[in-house]
């Protein structure tokens, strides 16, 4: 018999547009699992998505979703793809006819399908229940266990409130947002003994109230690991973007005692992308959050330790050990280190921008703000892929989206497929040869001054939302003089360490540095922080795997 769930709020959801089939599925599910799970059924994808969103807000857990493939307006694959964004940990089953098996096989790549069932499934004891038993057991033993929802109370135009929401969202921590001036927000503030002058207030699942929490304190209270389990490892990976996660998967899976240290949230800039469409194996695209979540779970499955909200401030060489120091003065050591620190968005140097950051001005996609942008005019500064992806995502609900581009065209810095999508989108316009001269507003963004660089003409426009993507700077200042970098701060490796391609003068080993190795033996670089890197998700993941291969070579020769 099926094992009872830990909570009666755990859901099995089924959606089928045929009322008879829908009732049959629900009947069979309740007969087997009704004692431990709540079975929810719907007869169209749209209403099922509404139900999932409501369940998410209430803090209910969804263990399995069964969807019929042939539904009007939204087929089962399209529904599961959107459901994946709401409940990424739910197991996914597609109900198909024999003629649709090719579509079901394709869905394995599109929505990471767990199983497909052919209709009819009689008898359920042979064709339905064994499949569901396995999927429910897999869900129970995964990281996506039922949890009570974290609550965040803050002011709509508060930079720190925005930062907390983004931190929780990017770390896959479910939360519910309450404005400080709405009844429930005021009730939570009163219960915590606060008058609303200090925000945000975060109420954790165990009822702990945190006022204006720092990221590390917040991470520790919502179940994210912040303290290393050991003092010494085979491999320390600094940075949790695609390169770091790729290195963690390959390092841990090949038997290295591996710890990944991330200062904010796994995924890096790629994790903030609304849709990545040129990554191998995902022909219909994948969101950065989905890709990050899968990679993080994969690394954890192989035994990699992942620390969040830990800032690294120094790297030291102590004999054969490589010592990584944290901002609180503590340290861990390892045989080898992979630097996968990535890059951060460059700040827009214009009057008023710094004061309004988080209050209408955002760096990166800030996807937690997307719903608030609906029916508003949105401005995106930048002309590369990240700006184009954000424009396409925000255009779904915004009244209009304007790309503000310094250059003469998008084609110089944006992929061809994305240029075509932006050009064809009816609500997206592009202003080339244009820069933001100033941002204006008392407590939130209200207006922008845009200047045409060809004519010199400036224009004052109304604006409440501006997202900035104007290039990136490497996060490497903390390395000091320990590791060689180029004039822009990117880390030099292998033959690029010296102009003539020979090892540096202080290189102590008989062999030359490996391709991804720095001037410090045993310290490697992967991803965007490396000088002359490709700045693509696929290449970052590949470099993470390659760096682990070179770590093995280094360890064998040490």
Pinpoint the residues of the chain covered by CATH 3.50.50.60.
232-344+473-557, 353-470
The torsion region of residue 360 among left (phi > 0), alpha (psi -120 to 50) and beta comes to left
Please, what CATH class does the domain formed by 232-344+473-557 belong to? alpha beta
Whether the CB-CB separation of 129 and 178 falls below 8 Å is answered with: no
- pLDDT tens for 76-123 read 888 988 888 778 889 998 888 765 556 656 666 666 788 888 777 788
Q: How many residues does the chain have?
A: 558
Residue 499 burial by Cβ neighbours in a 10 Å radius (0-12, 13-18, 19+) = exposed
> Which of 146-155, 172-181, 244-253, 504-513 has the lowest average pLDDT?
146-155
Q: Which helix (H) or strand (E) holds 445?
A: none
- pLDDT at res. 111: 64
How far apart are alpha carbons 104 and 52 in whole angstroms?
A: 22
178: part of which helix (H) or strand (E)?
Answer: strand 175-179
Q: Model-level pTM?
A: 0.72
Distance from C-alpha of 431 to C-alpha of 401, rounded to nearest angstrom: 11
Task: For strands 361-363 and 465-468, give the pairing.
Answer: parallel
Domain with CATH 3.40.30.10 in the chain: 150-221
CATH number of 10-140: 3.40.50.2300
- Give the CATH fold of the 150-221 domain: Glutaredoxin (3.40.30)
Contact between 388 and 413 under an 8 Å Cβ cutoff? The reply is no
Position 401 scores a pLDDT of 97
Q: Could you tell me which CATH number the domain at 353-470 has? A: 3.50.50.60
425-483 confidence digits (pLDDT tens): 999 999 999 999 999 999 899 999 999 999 999 999 999 999 999 988 899 999 999 99
- Position 55 pLDDT exceeds 60: yes
Q: Cβ contacts of residue 90 below 8 Å, gap of 6+?
A: 13, 62, 63, 64, 65, 83, 84, 139, 144
């Amino acid at each position: 018999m099926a094992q009872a769930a830990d909570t009666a709020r755990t859901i099995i959801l089924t959606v089928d547009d045929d009322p008879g089939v829908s009732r049959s599925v629900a009947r069979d599910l309740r007969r087997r699992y009704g004692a431990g799970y709540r079975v929810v059924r719907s007869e169209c994808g749209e209403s099922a998505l509404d139900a999932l969103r409501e369940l998410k807000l209430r803090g209910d857990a969804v263990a399995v979703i069964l969807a019929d493939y042939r539904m009007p307006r939204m087929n089962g694959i399209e529904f599961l793809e959107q459901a994946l964004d709401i409940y990424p940990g739910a197991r996914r089953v597609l109900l198909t006819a024999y003629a649709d098996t090719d579509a079901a096989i394709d869905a394995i790549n599109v929505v990471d399908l767990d199983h497909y069932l052919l209709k009819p499934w009689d008898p359920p004891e042979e064709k339905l229940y064994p499949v569901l038993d396995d999927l429910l057991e897999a869900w129970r033993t995964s990281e996506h266990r039922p949890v009570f929802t974290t609550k965040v109370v803050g002011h709509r135009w508060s930079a720190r409130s925005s930062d907390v929401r983004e931190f929780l969202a990017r770390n896959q921590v479910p939360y519910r947002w309450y404005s400080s001036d709405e009844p429930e927000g005021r009730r939570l503030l009163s219960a915590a003994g606060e008058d609303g002058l200090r925000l945000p207030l975060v109420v954790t699942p165990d009822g702990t109230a945190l006022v204006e929490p720092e990221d590390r304190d917040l991470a520790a209270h919502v179940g994210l690991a912040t303290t290393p389990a050991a003092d010494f490892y085979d491999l320390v990976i600094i940075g949790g973007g695609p390169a770091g996660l790729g290195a963690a998967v390959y390092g841990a899976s090949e038997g290295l005692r591996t710890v990944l240290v991330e200062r904010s949230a796994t995924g890096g800039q790629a994790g903030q992308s609304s849709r990545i469409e040129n990554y191998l194996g995902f022909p219909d695209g994948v969101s950065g959050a989905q890709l990050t979540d899968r990679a993080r779970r994969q690394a954890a499955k192989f035994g990699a330790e992942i620390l969040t909200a830990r800032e690294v401030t120094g790297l030291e060489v102590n004999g054969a050990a490589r010592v990584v120091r944290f901002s609180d003065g503590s340290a861990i050591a390892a045989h080898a280190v992979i630097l996968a620190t990535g890059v951060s968005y460059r700040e827009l140097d214009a009057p008023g921008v710094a004061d309004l950051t988080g209050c209408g001005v955002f760096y990166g996609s800030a996807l937690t703000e997307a719903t608030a942008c609906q029916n508003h005019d949105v401005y995106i500064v930048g002309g590369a892929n990240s700006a184009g992806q954000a424009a396409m995502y925000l255009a779904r609900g915004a009244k209009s989206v304007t790309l503000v581009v310094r250059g003469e065209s998008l084609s110089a810095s944006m992929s061809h497929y994305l240029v075509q999508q932006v050009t064809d989108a009816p609500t997206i316009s592009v202003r080339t040869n244009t820069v933001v001269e100033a941002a204006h507003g008392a407590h939130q963004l209200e207006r922008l001054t845009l200047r045409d660089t060809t004519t010199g003409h400036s224009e004052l426009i109304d604006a409440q939302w501006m997202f900035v993507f104007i290039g990136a700077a490497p996060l490497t200042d903390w390395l000091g003089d320990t590791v060689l970098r180029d004039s822009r701060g990117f880390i030099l490796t292998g033959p690029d360490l010296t102009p003539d391609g020979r090892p540096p003068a202080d290189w102590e080993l008989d062999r030359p540095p490996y391709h991804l190795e720095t001037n410090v033996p045993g310290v490697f670089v992967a991803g965007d922080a490396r000088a002359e890197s490709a700045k693509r998700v696929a290449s970052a993941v590949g470099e993470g795997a390659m760096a682990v291969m070179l770590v093995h070579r280094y360890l064998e020769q040490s």
